[in-house]
Structure 1
Amino acid sequence: MDEKAVRFIVAGKVQGVFFRASTAREAARLGLRGHAINLADGRVEVLAVGGAAAIDELGRWLQRGPPAARVDRVEHEPVADPQVGDGFRTG
């Protein structure tokens, strides 16, 4: 399977609404590795590594997020050499 890695930056009401935990569950369901972490400016960074179709599906999910979230914008960029272990973590 060809893997790719993408960094998503999600802006809106995405902290304090279980966004990271919900993202980790969705990523695990899709078989992705990586992380979801809060940024100091109120956004969330999501690094996802895995199959292209699964990453695309996660990207679509990030546009909505969990019910309590309000997503205003999702930016994304490819990552050439992601440093991630197994599984998907939050921090």
Structure 2
Amino acid sequence: MSGVIRHVTISGRVQGVGYRAWVESEATARRLEGWVRNRRDASVEAVFSGPEDVVAEMIATCRRGPSSARVDSVQESAGTPDLLKLRGAGERFAFLPTV
């Protein structure tokens, strides 16, 4: 299995509903690396790194979200090692400040 880095932006009712904590829990359970943060435009942004099939499964899960959320869209693109480095040294999966 090859490793990939994917950058996603999730739009809909995804702030104020525990979406970031849910993403962290789901990603950690899948042993993925990366981070999640809110954006001022009311979307949630995340980066996932790991085996390609596991990352794809995580992104599919993001399209559903937790029961309190309403996901309207998930935009997905290739991520970069520099994006992954936004988390703190030694962190596997991190919450980043809102941008």
2:37 is the alignment partner of 1:25: no
Give the secondary structure class of the aligned counterpart of 1:55.
Answer: helix
Q: CA deviation at 1:35?
A: 0.6
| Aligned residue in 2 for 1:59 | 59
Separation (CA, whole Å) in 1 of partners of 2:19 and 2:51: 22
Q: CA deviation at 1:51?
A: 0.7
Q: Could you tell me which amino acid in structure 2 is paired with residue 36 of structure 1?
A: V
Overall identity of the aligned pairs, in %: 30
Q: CA deviation at 1:60?
A: 0.7
| Structure 1 consecutive aligned stretches of length 4 or more whose deviation exceeds 3 Å | none
Q: Normalization by structure 1: what TM-score?
A: 0.93
- For structure 1, the residue ranges without an aligned partner over 5 or more in a row are none
Number of residue pairs matched? Answer: 91
State how 1:1-91 maps to structure 2 within 5 Å.
1-81=1-81, 82-83=84-85, 84=87, 85=89, 86-91=91-96
